[in-house]
Structure 1
Amino acid sequence: MSSVFIDKAPSPLAIIPYYATASLFFLVFSILFLITGSDILAHYFHPQVLAMVHTLALGWITMIILGAVHQLLPVITENHLYSNKLAVLCYVLLTSGTLLLISSFWLFATNWLMILAGSLICLSSFLFFFNVWMTTKDQEHSAIFNTFFLFSSFWFCFTTTVGLLLAINLAYNFIPRNHLEILKLHAHAGLAGWFLQLVTGASAKLIPMFILGKSNKNWMLYAALTFQNVGLALFLARGYNHQIGMDSLAYAVIVGIGIAFWLVYLWDAKKQSLRKKIDFPMQHSFSSFLFLILGLFSLPMVLNQPSGHWISTYGVWIFLGWLSGIILGMTFKTLPFIIWNLKYKDINGMEKIPMPKDLYNQKLLKVQYYLFLSSMLVLSLGTIGKIKLLIVIASILWVALASLYLINVAKIIFHKRTVAYGTATH
């Protein structure tokens, strides 16, 4: 793995700004959550709720995913990233578009500014898809992983395009269907298309690599890809022509079968692992799968109500428990290696140098992990029981968690090269 990183690593500008900006957006979300508190129990079309959700989905989750993908593609394809300049342009467009969109939702300014924000984000997604396509199109190595990246980036484009159309619809009302019904399709295209399929492909490559395990059952990944896409496509086709109701559970079951194939593949890799002790970053990531399963099992309650506390709980489990949980762990498996490769690749094997895990504060990471578990417990109880005090307490815990995460990310990014564990060289 290290030789691939050294020989094929893209420009730091194509990666590091994504991680740094995502950590800032995560703190921004936590502060907005603290300010609004129990507003998450309101209708999901509430302006402040929309602002927080898009801070999470775009500023935090999508931002860090794009940075990680730009680094991971050379590992998977054993090829250079097609364009570092496109990666930097994607970052500029996504960051500026997200800032404009958050402020537009917060003030609920349904005008040209919101449309501009959606346009910038949409353009960023298409440039990202083009970069992925051009990097993977002639590569037969690790074909299943390449396919996951292509499908997920397609759904990213689909999601942002629908989002842009919804932004235009708020100003000009041209979509013939109910706006809120299309909003549900937009959300789940992002969740089951962009996020789920990207995480499935990336984790199927990275987790076995980090735990020194391997599964030869690649057919499970092909099955996962098929079921996830078929279930999502059927849901979108049905949802556009008919109101979303309990019958949508059938499509959720199809996607769920795809998720099951993916999780069994990871479990098979873990059984073959040479590294029996799981470190804290991996524990953090593995614990997030519990919230994905909880989110899937909560779908009957979610579909049974047009709005309410179960929708809030579902959002908490998926966005904070699953997606944020896996990122909070995997950051400290990917970012330290990226910075380590940047700082030490020229002296690797010639000097006594730190390991990637030495670049961050492991005690802070442990505190972050326990804050994550406790905040998810308190927040879940607060949303299920509609207890506003617990939601406020949880929001305070999220601010503390996001602050520790930001400090540790900054410690990695601003690490100064040392040799012999203490002699600074630059």
Structure 2
Amino acid sequence: MLRLPLLFIVTGILSFLGFHVLSLFSLGAWIGEPLRNPEGWFRIHLMVLGWGTMIAMGAVYQLMDVVLQRKLYSRKLGYLHYVCFVGGSSILLAGFYRSEVSLIAAGGMLAWAGICLFAWNIGQTMRLAAQWNAVTISTACAVGYLVLTGFLGLMMGIDFVHPIWGGIHDRLLSAHIWMGAIGWFGLLITGFSYKMLPMFYLSHGESAQHPPAIVLLWNLATLLGALQFLLGGGAFLNGVAILLLLAALLLYEIHMREIRKHRHKSNPGSGILWTIYCTRGLTAYAVVLLGLVFVLPGLFAHEKLVILSGWLYLYGWVAMTILGYLSKIIPFLWWTHKYGPRSGKEKVPVMNDLIHDRYVEYGMAGMCGSILLILLGIGVGGMAFVWIGGCLLSVCSLLYMGLIVRVFIR
């Protein structure tokens, strides 16, 4: 079972490395340019589809095995999903790079077919296990939003070839971004954390009352935000969606404190600590953003604020959380795969020997500092800050991922 998650995770790592190598070649200049162009779409989809979603899919396959304590519904279907999704994403990226609408439409269709196979496989596994809790419900909702996100993207891809949506194309784009970022990544990260944070902290006895409320609030924020974009609801509904998301984040922070209160391990690892810091940063930003939406409603439509919010959420929280968790997940998967069968029969390294926590701390701190420099540059319009921060982010990210990849040769 470990081979399938590792296949997705390794492919995601390769995409991550490719993304940052390309960013270094442009010296990070693309970050300060408008993203609504073929190059911007190519880079964003390379990061979101090729890396983030690929890693997340592999993690879902592995987590379902751990949480449900049963085999995946169909490993063959998992490999077919991999072929369709990687093939479709590759064609889609080629279409963006070459500005060929036929490739964009074809790649989108194949990638969405892979997403549907993934959703069916996970859905059937959950149905047969019949273990419904905050972790499984949150994951199920996240996968559902991934299907809807892919469907909206497919509709836009078809619209490139045969324009049929007219003025609502931009609404589809906004709902596509919101549902993918908030629904897919947000619910998946928080849902995984209900299981993984207690494992990392060796926490027992924490309250279970917060996760159901977090799942409900996060779903309401996702649905209201997407409907607002599709129907053109305006700044008020934007503010309500952000308020719901902020309430979910605050409850999530309370739940993390509850886990730490009942911990039996003082230090869960630097990667995990940084994910907690980034969650607090996102929560603080949501408070500020909510105030801006109600005081200056028109500001929310400003491109600079949208870009700044997107970078802070997608890289400052989603990417940093994934990277922090990888510092624990990769050593666990590799140790289990390589040394698990030999444990107790011969001398094997312990899991902590596979990665140095001090270097994890340096890498996470370097990436976080680089992101703050990028955000400063976007906020004040200082392109020099954006370029320097972009280059530093790529360098730190490549070094950090080198630390992760090194696990495979230990």
Per-residue displacement from partner, 1:214-254 (whole Å, max 9, x unpaired)? 35432311111111112222232233222543431112212
Cα RMSD, aligned residues only: 2.1
Provide the residue aligned with 1:190 in structure 2.
180
Following the alignment from structure 1 to structure 2, what is the Cα–Cα distance between the partners of residues 260 and 272?
Answer: 19
Provide the residue aligned with 2:395 in structure 1.
400
CA apart distance, 1:49: 1.9
Q: Are 1:219 and 2:214 matched, yes or no? A: no
Provide the residue aligned with 2:265 in structure 1.
275
Following the alignment from structure 1 to structure 2, what is the Cα–Cα distance between the partners of residues 295 and 25?
Answer: 29
The residue type paired with residue 37 of structure 1 is G
The residue type paired with residue 89 of structure 2 is T
Gaps of 5+ in 1: 1-9, 416-426
Following the alignment from structure 1 to structure 2, what is the Cα–Cα distance between the partners of residues 79 and 238?
Answer: 39
Matches within 5 A, 1:84-99: 84-99=75-90
Provide the residue aligned with 1:78 in structure 2.
69
2:324 counterpart (304, 329, 340): 329
Provide the residue aligned with 1:46 in structure 2.
37
Provide the residue aligned with 1:156 in structure 2.
146
Following the alignment from structure 2 to structure 1, what is the Cα–Cα distance between the partners of residues 17 and 188?
Answer: 24
Following the alignment from structure 1 to structure 2, what is the Cα–Cα distance between the partners of residues 343 and 52?
Answer: 34
The residue type paired with residue 231 of structure 2 is N
Per the normalisation by structure 1, the TM-score is 0.89
Q: Are 1:284 and 2:278 matched, yes or no? A: no
Per-residue displacement from partner, 1:144-178 (whole Å, max 9, x unpaired)? 21111111100000000100101111221112542
CA apart distance, 1:307: 4.2
Gaps of 5+ in 2: none
Once the two structures are aligned, what percentage of the paired residues are identical?
Answer: 23
C-alpha distance 317-294 of structure 1, shift in aligned 2 (>3 A): farther
The residue type paired with residue 146 of structure 2 is F
C-alpha distance 303-72 of structure 1, shift in aligned 2 (>3 A): farther
Matches within 5 A, 1:406-421: 406-415=401-410
Provide the residue aligned with 1:390 in structure 2.
385
Provide the residue aligned with 2:344 in structure 1.
349
Provide the residue aligned with 2:241 in structure 1.
251
User: Which one is further off, 215-224 or 191-200?
Assistant: 215-224
Q: Are 1:119 and 2:114 matched, yes or no? A: no
Following the alignment from structure 1 to structure 2, what is the Cα–Cα distance between the partners of residues 148 and 319?
Answer: 19
User: Which one is further off, 181-190 or 243-252?
Assistant: 243-252
The residue type paired with residue 99 of structure 1 is S
Following the alignment from structure 1 to structure 2, what is the Cα–Cα distance between the partners of residues 209 and 363?
Answer: 20
Following the alignment from structure 1 to structure 2, what is the Cα–Cα distance between the partners of residues 244 and 222?
Answer: 29
The residue type paired with residue 276 of structure 2 is F
Following the alignment from structure 2 to structure 1, what is the Cα–Cα distance between the partners of residues 298 and 202?
Answer: 40
C-alpha distance 265-369 of structure 1, shift in aligned 2 (>3 A): same
Matches within 5 A, 1:102-181: 102-109=93-100, 111-141=101-131, 143-181=133-171
Q: Are 1:203 and 2:193 matched, yes or no? A: yes
The residue type paired with residue 51 of structure 2 is W
Following the alignment from structure 2 to structure 1, what is the Cα–Cα distance between the partners of residues 352 and 84?
Answer: 32
In the comparison of the two structures, how many residue pairs are matched?
Answer: 404
CA apart distance, 1:180: 1.5
User: Which one is further off, 300-309 or 320-329?
Assistant: 300-309
C-alpha distance 277-353 of structure 1, shift in aligned 2 (>3 A): same
Following the alignment from structure 2 to structure 1, what is the Cα–Cα distance between the partners of residues 131 and 347?
Answer: 34
Provide the residue aligned with 2:308 in structure 1.
313
Per the normalisation by structure 2, the TM-score is 0.92
CA contact (8 A) 1:44 1:50 kept: yes
C-alpha distance 305-158 of structure 1, shift in aligned 2 (>3 A): same
Per-residue displacement from partner, 1:156-213 (whole Å, max 9, x unpaired)? 0000010010111122111254212221111001112111111111011101111111
CA apart distance, 1:16: 1.3
The residue type paired with residue 187 of structure 1 is I
C-alpha distance 278-240 of structure 1, shift in aligned 2 (>3 A): same
C-alpha distance 359-153 of structure 1, shift in aligned 2 (>3 A): same
CA contact (8 A) 1:77 1:142 kept: no
CA contact (8 A) 1:284 1:328 kept: no
The residue type paired with residue 397 of structure 1 is L
Following the alignment from structure 2 to structure 1, what is the Cα–Cα distance between the partners of residues 289 and 403?
Answer: 34
Greater per-residue helix proportion: 2
The residue type paired with residue 370 of structure 2 is S
Per-residue displacement from partner, 1:104-133 (whole Å, max 9, x unpaired)? 223332x22101111122111111111111
CA contact (8 A) 1:287 1:325 kept: no
CA contact (8 A) 1:294 1:317 kept: no
